[in-house]
């Protein structure tokens, strides 16, 4: 069963990367039905929300994931990038600083912190 979940996740991830959001959501929902706390699937759904224009929903989803999985730097980075896009600079910069405190070599956060 675990390989089925991982395959569904990978399909969903690939579809999301290709911009096929509706199809990606279907695959990611399959993952979440089998494993409701699958952080990567939840993360991808949060990104899809933003790509589809539901910025408030995306922020809530990503913020909730950051609260629950505070050490997940990928989720925190995507939250910070979403905040930057929406003009929430103080919040984004705080998240970039949190990322760099945990991983001073985080390449993407190092690039973005220059805007803070």
Residues of the chain with pLDDT under 70: 1
* CATH 3.30.70.1060 describes domain 54-116: no
- The 10s digit of each residue's pLDDT in 72-86 is 999 999 999 999 999
Q: Which of 62, 87, 90, 58 is nearest to 76 (CA)?
A: 62
pTM over 0.75? The answer is: yes
Q: Which of 78, 79, 76, 68 is nearest to 103 (CA)?
A: 76
User: What ranges do the domains of the chain cover?
Assistant: 1-52, 54-116
């Amino acid at each position: 069963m675990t390989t089925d979940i991982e395959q569904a996740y990978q399909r969903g991830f690939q579809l999301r990367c290709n911009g096929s959001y509706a199809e990606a959501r279907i695959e990611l929902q399959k993952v979440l039905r089998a494993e409701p706390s699958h952080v990567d699937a939840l993360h991808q759904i949060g990104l899809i929300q933003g790509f589809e224009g539901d910025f408030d929903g995306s922020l809530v989803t990503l913020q909730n994931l950051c609260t629950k999985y505070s050490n997940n730097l990928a989720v925190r980075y995507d939250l910070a990038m979403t905040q930057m896009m929406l003009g929430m600079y103080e919040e984004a910069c705080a998240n970039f600083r949190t990322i760099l405190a945990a991983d001073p070599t985080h390449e993407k956060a190092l690039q973005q912190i220059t805007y803070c």
